[in-house]
Amino acid sequence: MCGVHIELIIFITVLCAVKLIMHYTFKKSKKYWEQHRTPHEKPSFFFGNLAPVILGKISMAEYLQKIYDRYKTHRYVGIYQFQKPALILRDIKLINEITVKEFEKFPQHMLYTSAQADPIWAHNLFAMPGNQEWKDLRATLSPAFTSSKLKSLFYLIDNCAQSFTEHLLESNEFVKLEMKEAFARLTNDIIASTALGATCNSLKNPDNDIFKMGVAACNIAKFPKSLKFFINNISPKLAKILKVRFINEEMRLFFEKMIQDSIKMRENSSLVRPDIIHLLMEARKGQLKVDIGSDSITEIAAVDESRTTFEEKSSKIDITDDIMTAQAVIFFLAGFDTSSTAMSFAAYELALHPHIQQRVVDNIHNTMEEEEDGKLSYKTVTSMKYLDMVVAEVLRKWPPFAVTDRTTTQSYVIAPVNEGELPVPISKDVLCLIPIFAIHRDPALFPNPEDFNPDRFLGISNRSLAFLPFGSGRRNCIGSRFALLEIKIVLIRILLKFEIVPIDETPIPIVLSKTNVNPVSDRGYWLGLKPRNGHC
């Protein structure tokens, strides 16, 4: 019994010590914006300004939008994520300054964990520090997403999309689907085929291991698992001590084995596939030729390379098993979840706007007849202007991420521009937040933002600075063009065979999830697929 009492006393003592330390830390840190006379939200103890989100009262996207709208006359507003001061950037020019012009000072996202705690998460391209290793890896992977490489992947994507529609047509009857789950299975098959050289039919074989791991990988965006991200906000040192991990051992071993098996198979058969694994294999052998040539972009939603590219020259980079596995995992996270969500929102908006859906169908037929005599090709897909506008509007109204961030590696000062502003010091401990969802819903930037109106992108050849579905600057989404191609091919194949219609279960209006940090429907995306006469 004495041992139990001693352990209890020790526990209570440690708890009290932690509470005192946290109280002192919060008391000191929550005065950051006040000290610098920066417009800010008044924080509460412990949660800072995140209590409504953490407690499930409002989605992250809508919460940031409320703060964004509340400070219409300001270029920025301060909040606290737990004890960490964060600055919500409202001004588009300021966002461009930090993400593009001052990239070398803001080269990274918030670092959530260490390589010692979680070697897979820490080594993926999104989470890595903005150091030379990141630059080398980015340069290594960039050639996978040029037009020439995407053309070679076109038929792999299209084959998966055709298998998807053929499966749905087997009964030749009206089909009711929860589109997110259906599209998740399809994107799983596409990513497995194009990135990892694996084949799986997730509709006919719903319990395949790759799909189950894809679901598990995407769960880190949901509460309470996403609370791991916030532990780093409370105390990065504590996160390191606790060895907070986002990729568990089972997932690591699964992806690592799949990659190693694929490498062995390719080496034994001399098989070459233009995918992520092939690029990393070439880099490991020192035989990679980095493509830094021009590669024009026609898609409205694609990243504007004229403002974001830099001279990408890959030096010798040590491509470890952890680095290869990390890229496979992040590719699954990006392709499996965000692409399927975008497809779901696209299907939803087309179902609710049948006149827009018909314009897309007409655009598909007319382009196919003009370009390739009724056949679908890479050139045909990228020539469908109205479809491009529709996809851009989907990503405008329903961006894949509610917010992105940047942190500085050196002290920085935001110079005053407007009357009444003071210099705002940005230290290494301050997180700069770019509220993408709120920016896309700003009527000053996008008139009548709640309306689904693809014509707002009519005549736009380059994206607006305020259009940020794939981020901004050099840390934008490297796979944006792959995602756009994937989304368009899937929509084309579905619309050629089906009319997408709302059903009784269709959630109208969309209610955003309060348990997911990204904008997703709380009640799914239930829609009906009505076979077209003759299936086109």
Annotated binding site for heme: 477
What crossing angle do the helices spanning 132-141 and 321-332 adopt, rounded to 10°?
60
- Residues of the binding site: 477
Nearest residue to 469 (alpha-carbon basis) of 386, 520, 393, 405: 393
- Cβ 259 vs Cβ 324: under 8 Å: yes
Element containing residue 214 per DSSP (H, E): helix 209-218
Q: Which two tokens stand for residue 469?
A: 């579905």
Tokens 């996270």 appear where? 333
| C-alpha to C-alpha distances, 330 to 114, 191, 195, 324, 343, nearest whole angstrom | 16, 11, 11, 10, 19
Q: Look up residue 512 and give its DSSP letter.
A: B
Strands 84-89 and 76-81: antiparallel
The full DSSP string for 21-61 is HHHHHHHHHTTHHHHTT--BPPPBTTTBT-HHHHTTSS-HH
Q: Angle between the 321-332 and 249-269 helix axes, to the nearest 10 degrees? A: 110
Token pair 């694609």 is found at: 302
266: buried, middle or exposed (CB in 10 Å: 19+, 13-18, 0-12)?
middle
Number of C-beta neighbours around residue 224 at 10 A: 9
Residue 426: strand, helix, or coil: strand
Peptide bond into 531 cis (omega under 30): no
Of 297, 369, 351, 370, give the one whose Cα is nearest residue 491.
351
